[in-house]
Structure 1
Amino acid sequence: MDVQDLLRQFGYLVIVVWTFFEGETIIIVAGAAVALGNLDMDIHLIALSALIGSFAGDQFYFAIGRRYGTPLLEKWPHHTKRLDWAFNMLRKWETLFILSFRFIYGIRNVSPFVIGMSGISPFKFLALNFIAASLWAASFAYGGYYLGTAMEEYLGEHKSTVLFTVLGLIATFGVVSYIRSQRKVKEARLAHSGEPTHSEHISPKEPSNGIEKDR
């Protein structure tokens, strides 16, 4: 069963659940499939579903970071570099970072935890998160739709072949990224336990439960 089959069977719920955890891929696929006539869904409801899932997911991760704080990071030694980078960006450009982290590959998943630990007002994050989720959902939903429209116009009968080729490349990239991340997790755990690894272990910094904000 591919992504389009899931969308046909479960509809907008798939988009809500998928975007709660991660990923713009399903939004692009859904938008393009609607434009190509392969999927009987409303592009505006696709964007709304993506907004709901993404917004709810990051609110949840923010709450986890706010509740559990630094002790949670001790269980993620393999995320040290990304966490440090996110903390630094948040210190320098708090509002801009909250509005843009969804679009930055590699840190999207850890950023809400970092923001939750930072001491930022939950109401401020709620407002900025809603704006950011709206921009993100609209960008990929309508972007996918216009991609499908362009494929219909310029590729004609070859549009499906090109679409599935692109999806195949995206899936391959996802699998490779997952394998690499799992390898890093294993090495980080070995390093954390004092066993030798093939890569240098970087000891995680222990950020405070609050981040000093720019004045």
Structure 2
Amino acid sequence: MQLEAFLSDYGLWALGIGAALEGETVTVLGGMMAHRGLFAYLPAVLAAAAGSFASDQTFFMIGRRYRDTGYVQKVRSRPAFQRALATFERHPTAFVFLSRFLYGLRTISPLAIGTTDLSTMRFALINGLAALAWGTVFVTLGYLFGQGIEALFGRVKSLEHLLLPFIAVAIVAGGVHWIVRYRRRASVG
């Protein structure tokens, strides 16, 4: 089976799962795929939003369910967690909505919010609206970036030409992330 055929058949599922697990990079790539016509724009936005919503809802529920356990208490003692809670206390609705757009807070924020007294229904409502906005922003960026590639380089003939730069960027970003994390741990320990 050709890669393009596979992505056109399973692409929206892959986009939703990728948005849940990785986030922006996969969602921007989904916008580029929509630009290529592998699937429609609106379903791409909805798939990305659904994946992002499910991920944040899961972390919220983990925080809610296990807020008194050792692991969550350990995570709760971290400075990033404490900063997230302090900001949440000042502006709870804005924090829930905007935290997915802030680098470094996307995963820890829903877990932190789950340890608060914010109701599950209120979190789900704000989370759903924020996920739609987030999905729209990043799929649109990918869609527009796809148009920019075509304007600069002409019609890209295969999906592999779109995937290779993202794979390269992901490898470099992962390496940089690992090095920064390793150096932080070395300087702390």
Bin of the TM-score, shorter chain as denominator length? 0.7 to 0.9
Q: Does 1:177 align with 2:165?
A: no
For normalisation by structure 1, the TM-score amounts to 0.73
Residue deviations 1:138-161, cap 9 Å, x none?
A: 101112101111221233368986
The equivalent of 1:144 in structure 2 is: 142
Q: Does 1:123 align with 2:111?
A: no
Judge which range, 4-13 or 21-30, deviates more. 4-13
Structure 1 residues 165 and 159, CA, compared in 2 at 3 Å: closer, same or farther? Answer: farther
Letter in 2 for 1:62: F
The equivalent of 2:27 in structure 1 is: 27
The equivalent of 2:106 in structure 1 is: 108
Residue deviations 1:9-61, cap 9 Å, x none?
A: 632111122222231111111212332x3x62112111111111111111111
Report deviation, 1:90: 0.5
Q: Does 1:52 align with 2:50?
A: yes
The equivalent of 1:11 in structure 2 is: 11
Structure 1 residues 175 and 128, CA, compared in 2 at 3 Å: closer, same or farther? Answer: same
Residue deviations 1:69-113, cap 9 Å, x none?
A: 143334448x81211121111011111111111111111111001
The equivalent of 2:72 in structure 1 is: 73
For normalisation by structure 2, the TM-score amounts to 0.82
Judge which range, 11-20 or 169-178, deviates more. 169-178
C-alpha distance in 2, partners of 1:29/1:184? 30
- Do the aligned partners of 1:12 and 1:49 also contact (CA within 8 Å) in 2? yes
Residue deviations 1:167-200, cap 9 Å, x none?
A: 523431133214544x379x4xxxxxxxxxx433
Report deviation, 1:165: 3.8
C-alpha distance in 2, partners of 1:15/1:165? 18
- Do the aligned partners of 2:33 and 2:143 also contact (CA within 8 Å) in 1? yes
For structure 1, the residue ranges without an aligned partner over 5 or more in a row are 188-197, 202-215
- Do the aligned partners of 2:18 and 2:26 also contact (CA within 8 Å) in 1? yes
Residue of 70, 81, 84 corresponding to 2:82 = 84
- Do the aligned partners of 2:4 and 2:38 also contact (CA within 8 Å) in 1? no
Identity among equivalent pairs (%)? 29
Judge which range, 160-169 or 128-137, deviates more. 160-169
Aligned residues: 184
C-alpha distance in 2, partners of 1:52/1:14? 12
Structure 1 residues 11 and 33, CA, compared in 2 at 3 Å: closer, same or farther? Answer: closer
C-alpha distance in 2, partners of 1:135/1:178? 30
C-alpha distance in 1, partners of 2:145/2:157? 11
Q: Which structure has the bigger radius of gyration?
A: 1
Letter in 1 for 2:56: D
TM-align CA RMSD? 3.0
Letter in 2 for 1:200: V
The equivalent of 2:188 in structure 1 is: 200
Q: Matched residue of 2:33: which SS?
A: helix
Structure 1 residues 19 and 33, CA, compared in 2 at 3 Å: closer, same or farther? Answer: closer
